Amino acid sequence: MKKHVGRGGGSSRRDRATGSRVALSIHELAAGGAGVARTEQGEVVFVAGAAPGDVVEVDIDRAAHPARGKLLKILTAGPGRITPPCTFVETCGGCDWMHLSPSTQQDAHAELIRRAISRATAVDDLPPIHVHPALQPLGYRTRARLFAKAGRGGAPRAFKKPPPPPGKPPRVEVGYRASSSHLLASVDRCLVLHPALDPLLRELPTLLAGATGEGDVLIAAGQGGRPVVEILWSGDLPPTTWSMLDQRIAEGTWAGARVSLEGVSRPASFGDPRPVLQGADGAPLLLAAGGFGQPSEEGASVLAKRVADLAWLDLPARPMHVLELFAGSGTLSILLARGPSGADLASFVAVEHGAEAAACLRENLSARGLAGKVVVADADATPVPPRADVVILDPPRAGASGAAAAIAASSVRAVVYVSCNPATLARDLVPLLASGLVITHLEAVELFPQTSHIETIVRLARHRPSRAPALS
């Protein structure tokens, strides 16, 4: 079949329909991962699982806004489409871009960042966006959130399992959320999980057998690279679950576990349930149990090193006052607190709302002999001290509108903003740019390969640097 030449930004010359089936051309990817097409009438249609340049046959659902197209057939594959290596990709909602080549993913991430910032700020001369490729496109995740459910009723599975014998309770199923759904997509292996964690997908159903209800299961690497598991359960867990947890910790198979039952005020802990990654400085980095952490230690290291490079760029050769907001357990702090090479800091203050994360941050700094003040407070409502030279912030997906306003009202020389959401990042850049700060660097780190999720670094300064640092 001949490829349809696009019109109106990449749509097909005509919409060929048989009943509700329509052939469309995909011209770009939207935030959230879907392909974007236009009908002959100019109607925008989002198509999950599509790739730029695809010509696809879809069934359009106009009840959604914008309209959604269910992918029925790929008539012509775009140049960036590949065969996904995972057999669960059709049912699991975890890796929405596994059908795209790594270069296509990187180009799309850069374009989504550029588009979001340009639209919100009306800045036309943005600096080029440098993308740091993923060091390991597969097997990179050293932490993940799984979903577990007792009984049937989940999403269709790629492989059917026989029903349990009469009188025996159904085995708990474990996996991820299904694509565009809150249902369970049961999986027994995951290509993006680190090899040390992948066996948990087959071990957890046995551990939870006999439970009622459902819940999330957070898995990560802990002390010595051994797994740590956190169970957030709504329902009842059988005695066998508790005894098996005891056994795994006693044997040293797992480094730790923690169980939080709905309606119970305090979680039950076994061993040390805190994740431990290799920090950007090569030393162990302790994270709060159940708290925020980047999905891979390699990606987190690239991110932290780049943030530190940008933080010290083109600043006065005197001891500086540095403020870090939304510091977490210290992924960035362990480099920032050192200051630029060969120079001391006048002060380093890290602000973190979570008490457990702040405690880990203090421990991480202390273990390295680094000085700094850790403040437990709402980073989005923290005033910027008049003497602050540099502010670094890494807020959650909701962004940091309060912090952006405080920074805009300050006289800081430079800002390094790390974001996992281009939309809220772009929103927060508006007051920063209005205050006289200028975007000097835009970068993306491929922390979530195989997915549409984006990690962005933006550096702003009161003036443009005379020379950019070498990219690593």
Reported as half-sphere exposure (CB side, CA atoms, 13 A), residue 196 has a value of 19
Which of 95, 190, 360, 420 is an active site residue?
A: 420
Q: Which residues sit opposite 206 in a β-bridge?
A: none
Please name every residue paired with 178 in a beta bridge, in sequence order, or none if there are none. Answer: 92
Q: Minimal CA–CA distance to 445: which of 327, 309, 304?
A: 304
Q: What are 379's two structure tokens? A: 């980073």
The Cα-based distances of 90 to 39, 141, 153, 274 in angstroms read 25, 20, 18, 33
- CB–CB of 333/324 below 8 Å? yes
Whole-number Å distance between alpha carbons of 40 and 55: 14
Chain-centre distance for alpha carbon 106: 15
Beta carbons of 20 and 60 less than 8 angstroms apart = yes
Annotated binding residue at 294?
yes
Residue 159's Cβ-count burial label (10 Å; 0-12, 13-18, 19+) is exposed
Helices 422-434 and 102-121 pack at an angle, to 10 degrees, of: 40
Coil, strand or helix at 144: strand
420 is catalytic: yes
* Residue whose pair of structure tokens reads 């281009």 in the numeric block: 422
Q: Is 394 annotated as a binding residue?
A: yes
User: β-pairing, 35-38 with 44-47?
Assistant: antiparallel
- Is 297 flagged in the annotation as binding? no
CA dist 200 and 206 (Å) reads 10
Helices (H) and strands (E) in the chain, counts: 8, 24
Strand partners, 131: 444
Which residues participate in catalysis according to the annotation? 420
**Residues within the annotated binding site for S-adenosyl-L-methionine?**
294, 326, 352, 394
**Residues within the annotated binding site?**
294, 326, 352, 394
